[in-house]
Amino acid sequence: MEWISELPGQLWASLVLFAFAISTMTAIELITGRERHSLRSRIPGLVFWLLWSVVAALAYGGFHALWRHVGVEPLIVLPLSFTWAGAAAVVAAPLASAFVADFFFYWCHRAQHRWLWRFHAVHHSVRELNSTNSFHHVTEPFVQAVLITLPSSLIVSDTGAIVPVIALLLHMQSSYIHSSSRWHFGPLRCVFVDNRFHRIHHSTEQRHFDRNFGAVTPLWDRLFGTAYFPAADEWPTTGIAEADQPRTLREWVSLPWRLAPAVEVEARVGGGEARAVPTG
């Protein structure tokens, strides 16, 4: 099958972008970090991300191959190429693509909290949260392929050569919003998600539960009533009460099932979202 022959290239490109984003943000964290996280503590995260990237290449490569085979065409094409938008396309195309993808990410994220919490809990279990230790469960790419990549493929930007720029920016943003850096977006936080805004989403404090689902822009959180803008000095601890963050491959893969005997699903305040909580 043709898509299988394309996987090495996709995987290599993904690893290069990932390595650049992680190494850049790690360097920034070491210089401007609010917290001290040792390089040794980041090793499990690097291993998990490496394996996750392989699974992601299979999931996304398989999806795109299926879409080409079925012959599904985009329903909407945003005219943001150089031909249509000129030099403005350099800014407009990445922003439009990121905002559209973030809309579907927002709803995927809420679905994970409502129905797929045990798997998404792997991401929330991280207590030393930084650009490296922001890993997801190995099943995450399949969820995103269905709930984000599929609908996003129906609304695309005519971006042409800007596609690599979009991919790099999304990787950088994902690393940054989980970083422990003191750098933030200041007044621009009303338009773009920064690490202070997303930190609230990982907070152990109940008043922060089910807030700030967006990864690129707070727009969707504002629109759907889940936005919480932290104070300048608000930097809560992260993690979940049910389990410590995985530190071995076995713990990483098995955490969703290890949660099952010890927790029950309880309705939470703020939109009736659900989350696993301790029974005792």
User: What was the pLDDT predicted at 2?
Assistant: 60
Mean pLDDT in residue range 23-35: 94
∠ CA 143-181-28 to the nearest 5 degrees?
A: 95
Query: Given a cut of 50, is residue 271 above it in pLDDT?
Result: no
User: What was the pLDDT predicted at 269?
Assistant: 33
User: What was the pLDDT predicted at 266?
Assistant: 41
Phi and psi based region of residue 160 (left: phi greater than 0; alpha: psi -120 to 50; beta: remaining): left
- Note the pLDDT tens digit of each residue in 182-213: 999 999 999 999 999 999 999 999 999 999 99
Give the CA diameter of the chain: 62
User: What was the pLDDT predicted at 63?
Assistant: 87
Question: What letter would DSSP give residue 33?
Answer: B
Closest CA to 256 of 123, 114, 106: 123
Question: What letter would DSSP give residue 145?
Answer: I
pTM, 2 dp: 0.87
CA 172/CA 18 separation, integer angstroms: 8
Closest CA to 58 of 140, 134, 125, 119: 140
The torsion of the CA quartet 231, 236, 241, 243, rounded to 10 degrees, works out to: 130
User: What was the pLDDT predicted at 252?
Assistant: 97
Mean pLDDT in residue range 12-32: 89
Q: Which residues pair with 263 in a beta bridge?
A: 278
Query: Given a cut of 90, is residue 155 above it in pLDDT?
Result: no
Question: What letter would DSSP give residue 61?
Answer: H
* Helix locations, the chain, DSSP H: 2-32, 43-70, 82-85, 89-115, 117-124, 140-144, 150-152, 163-177, 195-201, 219-223, 249-259
At 228, the amino acid letter reads: Y
Query: Given a cut of 80, is residue 159 above it in pLDDT?
Result: no
Mean pLDDT in residue range 12-25: 87
